[in-house]
Amino acid sequence: MKSVSPHLTANLLVAATLLIAIALSTAGAASAAATDRDLAALSTATYIYIATVRKDGNQSRAVPVWFTVSKDNRVLIETGPTSWKAKRIGRGSPALVWIGSSTGPAFIGKAEIVKDRSVQDEVIENYPKRYFLARIGFARPSRDKLDRGQIVVIRIEPTRDLPEGFQSQPGTPAPAPGALSH
């Protein structure tokens, strides 16, 4: 009987864990929305900090980004199509989100690049209302930028709140998406 190398076994284990995390992030998330805790924090926050899951199943570094909240209480951001977060989300990575600071309330959510023009228009309309710099034209999302592929809109649908005090730990395994806890 031929033995399997430890390296191959470890790679298969990481791949299986990532596939389970992706499957969980898509299962039952269709009706999820931000919890009251998260909505309260989002209403006063200037930034969210977002991390994604690398191919090896580990967290990326959390980075601050501008955001808005959609009419159906999903988090919307815009970013360059070649950013690591856009690439990872494009291949199915969930998003880890901290609200207001890198130690703020946190949740994990299903993230997707949005092609729906009405959702993109929410970002175009709301960023200038939230951010003075966008209002005066600096880093302002526009229909032209979206149509030319210079930016993409990402919708993040919370699937589970993370425990109080949960912090970003780049290079360590990401938590499982699981079901949203209200």
H/E run at residue 118: helix 117-130
Look at residue 81 in the predicted model and tell me its pLDDT.
97
Give the start-end residues of each E strand in 2-91. Answer: 48-52, 63-65, 68-69, 75-79
**Range 6-161 has CATH code 1.10.150.20:** no
Residues whose CB falls within 8 Å of the CB of residue 85, separated by 6 or more in sequence, listed in order: 50, 52, 60, 63, 79, 95, 154
Contact yes or no for 24/176 (Cβ under 8 A): yes
- What backbone phi and psi angles, to 5 degrees, belong to 98? -115, 135
Mean pLDDT of 159-171: 89
The residue written with tokens 């955001």 in the block is 67
Alpha-helical segments (H) within 27-116: 36-44, 84-90
pLDDT digits (tens, 9 = 90+) for 106-131: 999 999 999 999 999 999 999 999 99
Whether 18 shows a pLDDT value over 60: the answer reads: no
Look at residue 6 in the predicted model and tell me its pLDDT.
52
79 three-state secondary structure: strand
pLDDT digits (tens, 9 = 90+) for 74-107: 999 999 999 999 999 999 999 999 999 999 999 9
pLDDT digits (tens, 9 = 90+) for 40-85: 999 999 999 999 999 999 999 999 999 999 999 999 999 999 999 9
How distant is the alpha carbon of residue 65 from its chain centre?
A: 11
Rounded to the nearest 5 percent, the helix, strand and coil shares of the chain are 35, 25, 45
Q: How far apart are CA 172 and CA 163, in angstroms?
A: 17
